[in-house]
Structure 1
Amino acid sequence: MVTTTTPLEAELLRLAGSVPDPELPVLTLAELGVVRAVHLHGADTVEVELTPTYTGCPAVEAMSADIERLLREHGMREVTVRTVLSPAWSTNDITGEGRRKLREFGIAPPRVLAQEGPVAVALGPTRTATGLPSPADPAAPLTCPHCGSADTELLSRFSSTACKALRRCLSCREPFDHFKEV
Protein backbone atom coordinates (compact mmCIF):
# COMPACT_ATOMS: atom_id res chain seq x y z
CA MET A 1 0.00 0.00 0.00
CA VAL A 2 1.45 3.33 -1.09
CA THR A 3 0.52 6.37 0.95
CA THR A 4 1.08 9.91 -0.14
CA THR A 5 1.58 12.86 2.14
CA THR A 6 -0.69 15.82 1.54
CA PRO A 7 0.68 19.37 1.77
CA LEU A 8 -1.27 19.86 5.03
CA GLU A 9 0.20 16.66 6.51
CA ALA A 10 3.69 17.83 5.52
CA GLU A 11 3.06 21.18 7.24
CA LEU A 12 1.68 19.47 10.37
CA LEU A 13 4.72 17.16 10.42
CA ARG A 14 7.00 20.21 10.17
CA LEU A 15 5.11 21.91 13.01
CA ALA A 16 5.17 18.82 15.26
CA GLY A 17 8.87 18.39 14.53
CA SER A 18 9.57 22.02 15.49
CA VAL A 19 8.67 21.36 19.15
CA PRO A 20 11.77 21.58 21.39
CA ASP A 21 12.81 18.44 23.24
CA PRO A 22 11.92 18.94 26.94
CA GLU A 23 15.22 17.42 28.15
CA LEU A 24 17.48 18.90 25.47
CA PRO A 25 15.71 22.12 24.39
CA VAL A 26 18.56 22.94 22.02
CA LEU A 27 17.10 20.19 19.76
CA THR A 28 13.73 19.99 18.07
CA LEU A 29 11.84 16.71 18.01
CA ALA A 30 12.56 16.47 14.26
CA GLU A 31 16.31 16.89 14.85
CA LEU A 32 16.13 14.25 17.58
CA GLY A 33 14.31 12.00 15.10
CA VAL A 34 11.37 11.02 17.31
CA VAL A 35 8.43 12.41 15.29
CA ARG A 36 7.80 9.64 12.76
CA ALA A 37 4.60 10.51 10.87
CA VAL A 38 1.44 12.58 10.76
CA HIS A 39 -1.89 11.22 9.53
CA LEU A 40 -4.77 13.56 8.77
CA HIS A 41 -8.29 12.19 9.40
CA GLY A 42 -10.73 14.70 7.96
CA ALA A 43 -10.17 18.44 7.89
CA ASP A 44 -9.26 19.03 11.54
CA THR A 45 -8.30 15.71 13.14
CA VAL A 46 -4.69 14.55 13.17
CA GLU A 47 -2.71 11.63 14.58
CA VAL A 48 1.01 12.05 15.24
CA GLU A 49 3.33 9.05 15.59
CA LEU A 50 6.06 9.57 18.18
CA THR A 51 8.86 7.12 18.96
CA PRO A 52 10.55 7.72 22.33
CA THR A 53 14.30 7.45 22.69
CA TYR A 54 13.63 4.52 25.04
CA THR A 55 10.42 2.83 26.21
CA GLY A 56 10.46 4.34 29.71
CA CYS A 57 11.28 7.88 28.58
CA PRO A 58 9.61 10.29 31.04
CA ALA A 59 9.64 13.11 28.49
CA VAL A 60 7.02 11.46 26.22
CA GLU A 61 4.14 13.05 28.13
CA ALA A 62 5.65 16.53 27.82
CA MET A 63 6.45 15.99 24.13
CA SER A 64 2.89 14.82 23.45
CA ALA A 65 1.33 17.75 25.32
CA ASP A 66 3.53 20.26 23.48
CA ILE A 67 2.68 18.72 20.08
CA GLU A 68 -1.04 18.69 20.90
CA ARG A 69 -0.99 22.34 22.03
CA LEU A 70 0.92 23.52 18.96
CA LEU A 71 -1.25 21.67 16.44
CA ARG A 72 -4.45 22.89 18.12
CA GLU A 73 -3.09 26.44 17.88
CA HIS A 74 -2.77 25.80 14.15
CA GLY A 75 -6.40 24.78 13.63
CA MET A 76 -6.55 21.10 14.48
CA ARG A 77 -9.61 20.37 16.63
CA GLU A 78 -8.56 16.85 17.60
CA VAL A 79 -4.93 15.84 18.07
CA THR A 80 -3.83 12.35 19.08
CA VAL A 81 -0.19 11.56 19.74
CA ARG A 82 0.42 7.83 19.50
CA THR A 83 3.57 6.22 20.87
CA VAL A 84 5.11 3.89 18.29
CA LEU A 85 7.84 1.53 19.52
CA SER A 86 8.66 -0.22 16.25
CA PRO A 87 10.93 0.46 14.57
CA ALA A 88 12.83 1.41 17.70
CA TRP A 89 14.52 4.81 17.87
CA SER A 90 18.28 4.84 17.38
CA THR A 91 20.85 7.58 17.85
CA ASN A 92 21.36 7.25 14.09
CA ASP A 93 17.96 9.01 13.84
CA ILE A 94 19.49 12.26 15.12
CA THR A 95 19.96 14.56 12.15
CA GLY A 96 23.25 16.17 11.16
CA GLU A 97 21.85 19.50 12.32
CA GLY A 98 20.91 17.93 15.65
CA ARG A 99 24.45 16.58 16.08
CA ARG A 100 25.89 20.01 15.29
CA LYS A 101 23.60 21.67 17.85
CA LEU A 102 24.53 19.13 20.53
CA ARG A 103 28.23 19.81 19.95
CA GLU A 104 27.71 23.58 20.08
CA PHE A 105 25.71 23.14 23.30
CA GLY A 106 28.68 21.32 24.85
CA ILE A 107 27.35 17.75 24.52
CA ALA A 108 29.37 15.26 22.52
CA PRO A 109 26.92 13.84 19.99
CA PRO A 110 26.61 10.08 19.62
CA ARG A 111 28.81 8.46 17.05
CA VAL A 112 26.99 7.02 14.06
CA LEU A 113 26.45 3.31 14.56
CA ALA A 114 28.18 1.23 11.92
CA GLN A 115 25.22 -1.16 11.86
CA GLU A 116 21.68 -1.23 13.14
CA GLY A 117 20.74 -3.56 15.96
CA PRO A 118 21.81 -4.13 19.53
CA VAL A 119 24.84 -2.31 20.88
CA ALA A 120 27.27 -4.47 22.82
CA VAL A 121 27.90 -3.24 26.35
CA ALA A 122 31.15 -4.13 28.06
CA LEU A 123 31.40 -3.73 31.82
CA GLY A 124 34.72 -2.54 33.14
CA PRO A 125 36.38 0.09 35.26
CA THR A 126 34.51 3.33 35.95
CA ARG A 127 37.18 5.48 34.32
CA THR A 128 38.26 4.36 30.89
CA ALA A 129 40.05 6.06 28.06
CA THR A 130 37.82 6.74 25.09
CA GLY A 131 40.59 5.95 22.67
CA LEU A 132 39.44 2.34 22.97
CA PRO A 133 37.27 0.95 20.19
CA SER A 134 33.59 1.73 20.55
CA PRO A 135 30.64 -0.42 19.50
CA ALA A 136 29.50 2.48 17.33
CA ASP A 137 32.61 2.90 15.22
CA PRO A 138 35.94 1.49 16.38
CA ALA A 139 37.84 3.98 14.23
CA ALA A 140 36.02 7.10 15.48
CA PRO A 141 37.40 8.66 18.66
CA LEU A 142 35.05 10.56 20.93
CA THR A 143 36.10 14.19 20.74
CA CYS A 144 35.65 16.95 23.29
CA PRO A 145 32.90 19.38 22.21
CA HIS A 146 34.89 22.26 23.77
CA CYS A 147 38.38 21.87 22.26
CA GLY A 148 38.08 18.95 19.81
CA SER A 149 40.67 16.76 21.52
CA ALA A 150 40.22 12.97 21.31
CA ASP A 151 42.08 12.61 24.64
CA THR A 152 38.99 12.08 26.83
CA GLU A 153 37.92 9.76 29.61
CA LEU A 154 34.69 8.33 30.95
CA LEU A 155 33.84 9.55 34.46
CA SER A 156 30.38 8.02 34.80
CA ARG A 157 28.23 5.90 32.51
CA PHE A 158 25.25 8.07 33.51
CA SER A 159 24.94 11.83 33.60
CA SER A 160 22.01 14.26 33.89
CA THR A 161 19.78 11.77 32.03
CA ALA A 162 20.08 8.04 31.40
CA CYS A 163 20.84 8.64 27.72
CA LYS A 164 24.02 10.60 28.49
CA ALA A 165 27.38 9.69 30.03
CA LEU A 166 29.68 12.08 31.90
CA ARG A 167 33.14 12.47 30.39
CA ARG A 168 36.15 14.74 30.82
CA CYS A 169 38.67 16.05 28.34
CA LEU A 170 42.23 15.40 29.44
CA SER A 171 43.50 18.27 27.27
CA CYS A 172 41.29 21.19 28.35
CA ARG A 173 40.16 19.44 31.59
CA GLU A 174 36.51 20.37 30.96
CA PRO A 175 33.75 17.88 31.81
CA PHE A 176 31.08 17.25 29.20
CA ASP A 177 28.06 15.07 28.52
CA HIS A 178 28.17 12.46 25.76
CA PHE A 179 24.88 11.39 24.20
CA LYS A 180 25.29 7.59 24.25
CA GLU A 181 24.85 5.50 21.13
CA VAL A 182 21.87 3.16 20.94
Structure 2
Amino acid sequence: MNDNIIPTLNPVFAKRKAYREGSEHKPIWDLLDSVFDPELPGLTIWDLGILQDVRLIDGEWQIDVTPTYSGCPAVETINADVKAALKAAGYDKVKVNLVLSPAWSTEMMSPVGKAHLKSINIAPPHEEDRVQCPVCDSSNTKVVSQFGSTACKALYQCNDCFENFDYFKHF
Protein backbone atom coordinates (compact mmCIF):
# COMPACT_ATOMS: atom_id res chain seq x y z
CA MET A 1 0.00 0.00 0.00
CA ASN A 2 1.24 3.48 -0.86
CA ASP A 3 1.61 5.48 2.40
CA ASN A 4 1.19 8.75 0.49
CA ILE A 5 -2.47 7.98 -0.21
CA ILE A 6 -4.93 9.34 2.30
CA PRO A 7 -8.01 7.07 2.48
CA THR A 8 -11.03 8.68 0.86
CA LEU A 9 -13.72 7.60 3.29
CA ASN A 10 -13.86 5.76 6.54
CA PRO A 11 -17.20 4.66 8.01
CA VAL A 12 -17.35 7.48 10.58
CA PHE A 13 -16.72 10.24 8.04
CA ALA A 14 -18.98 8.55 5.47
CA LYS A 15 -21.84 8.63 8.00
CA ARG A 16 -21.19 12.32 8.74
CA LYS A 17 -21.10 13.16 5.04
CA ALA A 18 -24.35 11.30 4.32
CA TYR A 19 -26.04 13.06 7.26
CA ARG A 20 -24.95 16.48 5.97
CA GLU A 21 -25.97 15.72 2.40
CA GLY A 22 -29.40 14.56 3.58
CA SER A 23 -30.00 17.63 5.72
CA GLU A 24 -32.84 19.98 4.85
CA HIS A 25 -30.52 22.82 5.93
CA LYS A 26 -27.79 22.31 3.33
CA PRO A 27 -27.38 26.08 2.64
CA ILE A 28 -26.46 26.64 6.31
CA TRP A 29 -23.94 23.78 6.26
CA ASP A 30 -22.47 25.36 3.12
CA LEU A 31 -22.26 28.80 4.77
CA LEU A 32 -20.36 27.25 7.66
CA ASP A 33 -17.73 26.01 5.21
CA SER A 34 -16.35 29.55 5.53
CA VAL A 35 -15.48 28.99 9.21
CA PHE A 36 -11.91 27.88 9.82
CA ASP A 37 -10.15 26.45 12.84
CA PRO A 38 -8.11 29.34 14.30
CA GLU A 39 -5.15 27.06 15.13
CA LEU A 40 -4.97 25.29 11.75
CA PRO A 41 -4.81 27.86 8.93
CA GLY A 42 -7.16 27.10 6.04
CA LEU A 43 -8.80 24.06 7.66
CA THR A 44 -12.59 24.36 7.90
CA ILE A 45 -14.48 23.19 10.96
CA TRP A 46 -16.30 20.71 8.69
CA ASP A 47 -13.08 19.21 7.33
CA LEU A 48 -11.61 19.05 10.84
CA GLY A 49 -14.72 17.11 11.83
CA ILE A 50 -15.93 19.32 14.65
CA LEU A 51 -19.06 20.69 12.93
CA GLN A 52 -21.63 18.06 13.92
CA ASP A 53 -25.14 19.32 13.27
CA VAL A 54 -27.29 22.17 11.99
CA ARG A 55 -30.90 22.46 13.17
CA LEU A 56 -33.62 25.10 13.20
CA ILE A 57 -35.57 25.01 16.47
CA ASP A 58 -38.28 27.60 17.18
CA GLY A 59 -36.75 30.08 14.75
CA GLU A 60 -33.24 29.76 16.19
CA TRP A 61 -30.35 28.06 14.39
CA GLN A 62 -28.74 25.45 16.61
CA ILE A 63 -25.19 24.61 15.56
CA ASP A 64 -23.48 21.67 17.29
CA VAL A 65 -19.69 21.74 17.55
CA THR A 66 -17.50 19.10 19.19
CA PRO A 67 -14.00 20.23 20.28
CA THR A 68 -11.00 18.11 19.34
CA TYR A 69 -10.32 17.69 23.05
CA SER A 70 -11.90 18.85 26.28
CA GLY A 71 -10.59 22.27 27.20
CA CYS A 72 -9.57 23.21 23.64
CA PRO A 73 -8.73 26.94 23.78
CA ALA A 74 -10.06 27.55 20.25
CA VAL A 75 -13.70 26.76 21.15
CA GLU A 76 -14.73 30.32 22.02
CA THR A 77 -13.19 31.71 18.83
CA ILE A 78 -14.89 29.02 16.73
CA ASN A 79 -18.25 29.77 18.39
CA ALA A 80 -17.86 33.48 17.67
CA ASP A 81 -16.80 32.77 14.07
CA VAL A 82 -19.83 30.51 13.49
CA LYS A 83 -22.16 33.22 14.79
CA ALA A 84 -20.41 35.90 12.72
CA ALA A 85 -20.62 33.85 9.51
CA LEU A 86 -24.33 33.27 9.94
CA LYS A 87 -25.01 36.85 11.02
CA ALA A 88 -23.19 38.14 7.89
CA ALA A 89 -25.60 36.02 5.83
CA GLY A 90 -28.62 37.49 7.62
CA TYR A 91 -29.21 34.85 10.30
CA ASP A 92 -29.41 36.64 13.64
CA LYS A 93 -30.82 33.96 15.94
CA VAL A 94 -27.96 31.50 16.36
CA LYS A 95 -26.90 29.32 19.26
CA VAL A 96 -23.70 27.28 19.18
CA ASN A 97 -23.85 24.17 21.33
CA LEU A 98 -20.72 22.52 22.67
CA VAL A 99 -21.33 18.79 22.24
CA LEU A 100 -19.03 16.33 24.00
CA SER A 101 -20.79 13.10 23.08
CA PRO A 102 -19.90 11.38 20.96
CA ALA A 103 -16.36 12.52 21.58
CA TRP A 104 -14.48 13.88 18.59
CA SER A 105 -12.09 11.51 16.86
CA THR A 106 -9.75 11.87 13.92
CA GLU A 107 -12.07 9.52 12.01
CA MET A 108 -14.49 12.46 11.79
CA MET A 109 -11.99 14.39 9.66
CA SER A 110 -12.59 14.58 5.93
CA PRO A 111 -10.03 13.35 3.40
CA VAL A 112 -9.73 16.99 2.30
CA GLY A 113 -8.92 17.96 5.89
CA LYS A 114 -6.20 15.33 6.18
CA ALA A 115 -4.69 16.41 2.87
CA HIS A 116 -4.80 20.03 4.02
CA LEU A 117 -2.88 19.18 7.19
CA LYS A 118 -0.13 17.66 5.07
CA SER A 119 -0.10 20.75 2.82
CA ILE A 120 0.71 22.93 5.86
CA ASN A 121 3.43 20.49 6.99
CA ILE A 122 1.43 18.74 9.69
CA ALA A 123 1.44 14.96 9.44
CA PRO A 124 -2.19 13.82 9.28
CA PRO A 125 -3.48 11.20 11.72
CA HIS A 126 -2.99 7.57 10.82
CA GLU A 127 -5.01 4.69 12.27
CA GLU A 128 -1.85 2.78 13.19
CA ASP A 129 0.01 5.92 14.32
CA ARG A 130 2.54 5.55 11.51
CA VAL A 131 4.01 9.01 11.29
CA GLN A 132 5.21 10.08 7.89
CA CYS A 133 7.15 13.31 7.33
CA PRO A 134 4.86 15.80 5.57
CA VAL A 135 7.88 17.41 3.90
CA CYS A 136 9.74 14.47 2.32
CA ASP A 137 7.25 11.59 2.89
CA SER A 138 9.79 9.52 4.81
CA SER A 139 8.46 7.22 7.50
CA ASN A 140 11.87 7.32 9.21
CA THR A 141 10.66 9.66 11.96
CA LYS A 142 10.98 9.94 15.73
CA VAL A 143 8.92 11.55 18.45
CA VAL A 144 10.53 14.57 20.07
CA SER A 145 7.67 15.44 22.43
CA GLN A 146 4.22 13.98 23.02
CA PHE A 147 2.90 17.54 22.82
CA GLY A 148 3.40 19.80 19.82
CA SER A 149 2.07 23.29 19.18
CA THR A 150 -1.29 22.20 20.63
CA ALA A 151 -2.29 19.31 22.90
CA CYS A 152 -3.86 17.39 19.99
CA LYS A 153 -0.51 17.26 18.19
CA ALA A 154 2.86 15.67 18.96
CA LEU A 155 6.23 17.03 17.86
CA TYR A 156 8.25 14.77 15.55
CA GLN A 157 11.49 14.98 13.62
CA CYS A 158 12.32 13.35 10.33
CA ASN A 159 15.56 11.34 10.43
CA ASP A 160 16.03 11.81 6.67
CA CYS A 161 15.42 15.52 6.00
CA PHE A 162 15.80 16.59 9.68
CA GLU A 163 12.64 18.70 9.62
CA ASN A 164 10.67 19.09 12.82
CA PHE A 165 6.92 18.82 12.32
CA ASP A 166 3.67 18.33 14.17
CA TYR A 167 1.77 15.06 13.95
CA PHE A 168 -1.98 15.31 14.46
CA LYS A 169 -2.53 12.51 16.98
CA HIS A 170 -4.92 9.71 16.12
CA PHE A 171 -7.81 9.70 18.62
TM beyond 0.5: yes
CA distance in 2, matches of 1:26, 1:174: 22
CA offset digits 1:103-131 (Å, max 9, x no partner) = 1110001113xxxxxxxxxxxxxxxxxxx
CA distance in 1, matches of 2:149, 2:131: 19
Percent of pairs with identical residues: 43
Task: List structure 1 runs of 4+ shifted beyond 3 angstroms.
Answer: none
CA deviation after TM superposition for structure 1 residue 75, in Å: 1.3
Ranked by relative contact order (alpha carbons within 8 Å, sequence separation 6 or more), the top structure is 2
CA distance in 2, matches of 1:5, 1:159: 36
Match of 2:149 among 127, 150, 160: 160
2:168 is equivalent to residue 179 of structure 1: yes
2:56 is equivalent to residue 40 of structure 1: yes
Match of 1:110 among 114, 117, 125: 125
Contact 2:49 2:110 in 1 (8 A): yes
Contact 1:21 1:63 in 2 (8 A): yes
Matched residue SS, 2:62: strand
> If the length of structure 2 is used for normalisation, what is the TM-score?
0.83
Unpaired runs of 5+ residues, structure 2, are 1-21
Unpaired runs of 5+ residues, structure 1, are 113-136
Q: Which amino acid aligns with 1:147?
A: C
Match of 1:68 among 83, 101, 123: 83
CA distance in 2, matches of 1:5, 1:171: 46
2:119 is equivalent to residue 101 of structure 1: no
Matched residue SS, 2:36: coil
Matched residue SS, 1:76: coil
> If the length of structure 1 is used for normalisation, what is the TM-score?
0.78
Contact 2:35 2:45 in 1 (8 A): yes
2:168 is equivalent to residue 150 of structure 1: no
CA distance in 1, matches of 2:78, 2:152: 17
Q: Which amino acid aligns with 2:93?
A: E
CA deviation after TM superposition for structure 1 residue 26, in Å: 2.3
CA deviation after TM superposition for structure 1 residue 40, in Å: 1.4
Match of 1:58 among 67, 73, 77: 73
Q: Which has the higher helix share?
A: 2
Q: Which amino acid aligns with 2:136?
A: C
Structure whose alpha-carbon radius of gyration is higher = 1
Contact 2:123 2:165 in 1 (8 A): yes
